[in-house]
Amino acid sequence: MGRGVTEPPRTERRNPKASRLGSLTTREVLDLMNEEDATVPTAVRGAIGAIERAVEAVVAAIQAGGRVRYVGAGTSGRLGVLDASEWPPTFGVAPDLARGIIAGGDRAFRESVEGAEDDAAAGERDIRASARPGDAVVGISASGRAPYVIAAMRAARAVGARTIAVTCEGSSELAAAAEIAIALDVGPEVVAGSSRLKGGTATKLVLNMISTAAMIRLGHTRDDLMADLRAVNAKLRDRAIAIVSSEAGIPAADARARLERADWDIRRAISEARKG
């Protein structure tokens, strides 16, 4: 790099393997993307220690009456909203236990909101309106440079929340602003700067791990079964029936009847079936 020129973060650098991307066949493009995607689990494995600390922090926060808040911009914000929205139906927890906050508000979940990630004042305002002392706030930004997310993380620490960063830049301002930094070294993308690719995939894997491991530790599963799921549709009712049938050793029809009597409470239906 020349004198006075700042080296771009790894999320913005060009991938040498993709230098002739425009001349590749469709199959060659797909093969290259698949090869690059195959490196993501290794990057996540390299951050397991930090992910473990993040899970323990989330568990401790919830046990003490706190909640979880994901905050991000663009793809990172959407992934946070997505993960938070899955907590209630999967684990039967209250809707407010986990919330996703995205720069630009709900509209930004469906379309780009110009300048939203650069609005530091909005990041501080949004997290102060949503987080409280004892919560765990997870700031998500592949580059670690989104002013909205950095300001939200600093505001979270100021109000007394635990702070966790998920980023692909371990030396970023976001990583430095958090108590626990999960740094995912996924390297340059196939399309330079498009961190919805490897960066997004790695982030999704980490959020899966944080929420799932925390819920397991807090007893919201029965070994590998969703014992606290909310049977809000036909698919989930079938799953609930299968769980009760398997765990109580009764026919599916009997399991359905017991679930209906128990208002589709899986644990209660299993307990009553075993007593019976």
Q: Active-site positions?
A: 86, 117
The tokens for 204 are 């999704």
| Closest listed residue to residue 68, CA positions, set 174, 143, 175, 140 | 140
Class of residue 97 by CB neighbours under 10 A (exposed 0-12, middle 13-18, buried 19+): middle
For residues 274 and 130, give the distance between their C-alpha atoms in angstroms, rounded to a whole number.
43
Q: Which parts of the chain fold into alpha helices (H)? A: 26-37, 40-45, 48-63, 74-91, 120-130, 147-159, 173-177, 198-217, 234-248, 252-261, 266-275
Inter-residue contact 160 to 179 (CB < 8 Å): no
Strand order in the sheet with 98-102: 98-102, 68-72, 136-140, 162-167, 180-183
